[in-house]
Amino acid sequence: MKIFVPIKHNSQRVPQKNFRIFKGEPLYKYSLLKYKGLEVYVDTDSDEIYESINSDARFSNVSVFMRDKKLVGDSVSVCDLILNFIKKYNVTVPIAQVHVTSPFLNASIIKDAYKYMSKHDSVISCNTYNSRFWRKEKYGFCPVNHNPLKLEQTQDLPIIYEENSAFYIFKPSVVLSTSSRIGKNPYFYSISKPYNMDIDTESDWEDVLKEADNK
């Protein structure tokens, strides 16, 4: 298994988030250190990140490469980056794609989730819910996972699985054939707080800092 980590220099919603100091380290370094012992590949458009990782002896397990100019920009999808990575390094083993903006995720969780790849073509991190869900249609609201005429206990309701994007593990063939990280036979791997926390807004950043103070 290879760990693939895309890291941008700039962030639209949370300026300089990858460089913000988290527990004494720039966020991107703090998160990468969680994957010591694993084979990690970093795709970045940042000269600063490229040089800093290459000059830091703690990242001997990390190979970092500069993003192709044609793949720089907010309109480029992560699947485009993964496809480029597969072709660039002729990757044939499963890939685990993670983000440095999930600082509580760690190698132990990735290794445990990887076990499910023996029977599935992809493993997706998720949140799970035992609640009554509804969806809005043109003609009104419809139940998703329950019969409103029959009041069932919530623990007896079908579980709802929500992608949380903390990690995706997949075979290269899945991306090459579908341009997606999710195959035809996925497994949804549930993780909870704080491991599923991701920094996408300023509010997320504050929540992560509070969680770190509590640990």
How confident is the model at residue 73, as a pLDDT? 84
How confident is the model at residue 214, as a pLDDT? 84
Cα dihedral sign for 107, 110, 111, 112?
Answer: positive
Per-residue CA distances from 189 to 16, 19, 58, 133, 145 (Å): 30, 29, 30, 21, 20
Residue type, 55: S
Give the separation between CA 118 and CA 122, rounded to whole angstroms: 10
Per-residue CA distances from 158 to 130, 132, 145, 149 (Å): 7, 9, 6, 16
In the beta sheet, which residues pair with residue 194?
Answer: none
Per-residue CA distances from 131 to 141, 158, 194 (Å): 16, 9, 21
Going residue by residue through the chain, which has 215 residues, state the pLDDT in tens, using 9 for 90 and above: 999 999 999 988 899 999 999 999 999 999 999 999 999 999 999 999 999 999 999 999 999 999 999 999 888 999 999 999 999 999 999 999 999 999 999 999 999 999 999 999 999 999 999 899 999 999 999 989 998 888 888 888 889 999 999 999 999 999 999 999 999 999 999 999 999 999 999 999 999 999 999 86
How confident is the model at residue 24, as a pLDDT? 97
**174, two tokens:** 């899945």
How confident is the model at residue 112, as a pLDDT? 98
How confident is the model at residue 151, as a pLDDT? 84
Q: Which domains does the chain have, with CATH numbers?
A: 2-124+165-214 (3.90.550.10)
